Chains A and B, each alone.
Chain A
Amino acid sequence: MNNTCTCAPELKEKEKQDGIKELKEFIKEHKLLHDKQGALMTVLHKVQEIFGYIPREAMDVVSESLGVPTAHIYGMATFYNFFSLKPKAKYQISVCKGTACYVAGGARLLERVEEELKIKLGDVTPDGLFGLSITRCLGCCGLSPVIQVNEEVFVRLVPEKIPAILEKFRKQEKKTK
């Protein structure tokens, strides 16, 4: 039987080993607080920093070294917004849902992106390339509606322009490969 947990997807083998090694060293070096559990927040911040999310394997490592049940760590990771159980995509698309963009048709941009990528809000494409989220306001209301892909902002959009933007990043990805 496949014994993988659905809450946290598998990592690539090499990345996983490197990350876990780094994590173990961090825990060893890190001065423990009053009791071992007190170090949990700091350690989880480190896990998030190394992997970009909280993978199941890292939870187990943290659990063993701090003597805290994995279930408790899972509880922490789901309680705090800052920690994530899903890997972040390479290109995170944020559709602005600020008032100005909303008025200018931001909702239709979101629909189109969902349609193109065949994912829902908050999800990541199976190849890990694109993730979709909304943001409250990017502060460029004069150029609405806008979307942001990683650091890059695309302004005055219409849904028809979405495929070209996605294609641009796909091409960029092919080049780097």
Chain B
Amino acid sequence: MKDFSKYIIIISHVPILITSCYALITFRKQQTILKVFSCFLFLSYLVQFASLLFWFNRMNNMPLLHAYVGIGFLMLALFYKKVLEGFISGTVIYSVAIAFLIFTVLNSLFVQSVLTFNSYALTLESVLLIIFSLTTYILLLDKTVKEKRKSLVSSINWINSGIFIYYVSNLLIFYFSGYFSRYFSLEFNRYTWVVHSFFSVVMYTFFFIGLWRRAKN
């Protein structure tokens, strides 16, 4: 059973590879919003594969996760800033991103060491990204926003859905991880990471569709 979980987790990295490669191939033809998002994909790709290598070599890959949470959020905040430009003040999004960055640094320095799982920062990251994605959903229903983002509405919708689904599942998994580890078996806990990988696959599949459906002209 342990091997099954292991293979699932390894296989879950394939969509990241495919999506990042596709983002790299189409990068020059993409609009600025998608270029910002592609940069996030490249970062994810590098971090995920580096952490997989660490894992194979039985090294602690938590410091990578600590760095990824901060930088990844900053890039996603920049993506949302571009998506919501003209409708939500950039200052609001930048302020949230900077405040989160300070929080994650302080958390890594004083609360959850870089060698341990940074569940607080991940939970807060999930909360903030859920807020951004829900707001984007509502904004995309508005005629004016639709008009302005005309060619990118479909792509943004797919990418936003991927972010929403993954971070909601993330939030619930991280939130209940303590409860599960206390009251459920180790095997059950391993399954929660399989579920997490499943949602990661869903997210990167949605990202791929989002990039695929970008306006070709």
Co-assembled chains A and B: no
- A contacts, CB < 8 Å to B: none
